[in-house]
Amino acid sequence: MSVGVLAAPQTNEPIQPIEAYVVTDQAKVELGKQLFFDPRLSKSGFISCNSCHNLSMGGSDNLPTSIGHNWQEGPINSPTVLNSSLNLAQFWDGRAADLQEQAGGPIENPMEMGFTHNLAVGVLASIPQYVQSFKDVYNVDKITINEVTDAIAEFEETLVTPNAPFDQWLKGDEDALTADAKAGYKLFKEIGCTACHNGPAVGGNSFQKMGLFEEYVTNNPAEGVAGLTGNDLDRFKFKVPTLRNVELTYPYFHDGAYWNLDDAVDVMARLQLGRKLEKDQISQITAFMKSLTGDQPSFVIPMLPPSTPETPRPEPFAKVSN
């Protein structure tokens, strides 16, 4: 942590610091961690939650769209799991109200983990160590998908990234930010970015239409909230992504079309604000955004309970024909 010149904390900013998570149920968190890393929740036995939300890669997979069951390419960019507990809803279109509901989605999605809830629970129920863990944590003799997703969500709640240089600056450390980062933050506010990117997560707390001043051109089929409501007014309305750790979570936007953060800033300024920024202005805003990278989750990949002869065998990936 920086030990520079201390000043009064910045208390009237549109962005607030992220605080470290305090674990209150360590056993449930550890169970959720095992499940998060366990590929046996997928039909193939190869795909885990961490496959698309890699904790060593900013909580994403650094692909335009994720690769799922039978090598299918997903329809949308995988959002980071880091600080996802701060979102008002989950998924780009907000179709899951919370992390627990979100955790159940990929398991039964045929393009992602390709399984069913019943079969995934059946796998866990065939593994004695999991049966005992669920009994110890939830006091149940029979595992259900409710306990599985609750445990995963409990682990994901811990995946916050405090102590970013920007947070240190907010708390009064004047030397925590470079001159370019300070100038970038000032500009970030002046041109209106904080209308959408605000709060502790610097986003994640509203849905906005992409392409207010210019149309966003993409071949990606995702329609945003319109895919749920059927209302054309909701087309291209997506949850505003968090900018926390954004330098790690490339490529950017729902279609993963832009790999360079400078390019993403330029596109957003033009499409959402009607502003054509100079190159040095873009560099300053990018410097500010990089100051939002906080402490990454510290973890050891857990030892997974061993399968037994009774554990259902995974389906192999389909052979790719020439």
Report, as residue numbers or ranges, the catalytic residues: 112
Q: Please count the other Cβ atoms lying within 10 Å of the Cβ belonging to residue 275.
A: 16
What are the residues whose beta carbons fall under 8 Å from the beta carbon of 255, sequence distance 6 or more?
A: 64, 65, 76, 77, 218, 219, 220, 222
The C-alpha atoms of residue 296 and residue 22 are separated, in whole angstroms, by 15
Q: Which residue in the block uniquely carries the two structure tokens 């030892």?
A: 303
SS (H, E, C) the chain: CCCCCECCCCCCCCCCCCCCCCCCCHHHHHHHHHHHHCHHHCCCCCCCHHHHCECCCCCECCCCCCECHHHCECCCCCCCCCCHHHCCCECCCCCECCHHHHHHHHHHCCCCCCCCHHHHHHHHHCCHHHHHHHHHHHCCCCCCHHHHHHHHHHHHHCCCCCCCHHHHHHCCEHHHCCHHHHHHHHHHHHCCHHHCCCCCCCCCCCEEECCCCCCCCCCCCCCECHHHHCCHHHCCEEECCCCCCHHHCCCECCCCCECCHHHHHHHHHHHHHCCCCCHHHHHHHHHHHHCCCCCCCCCCCCCCCCCCCCCCCCCCCCCCCC
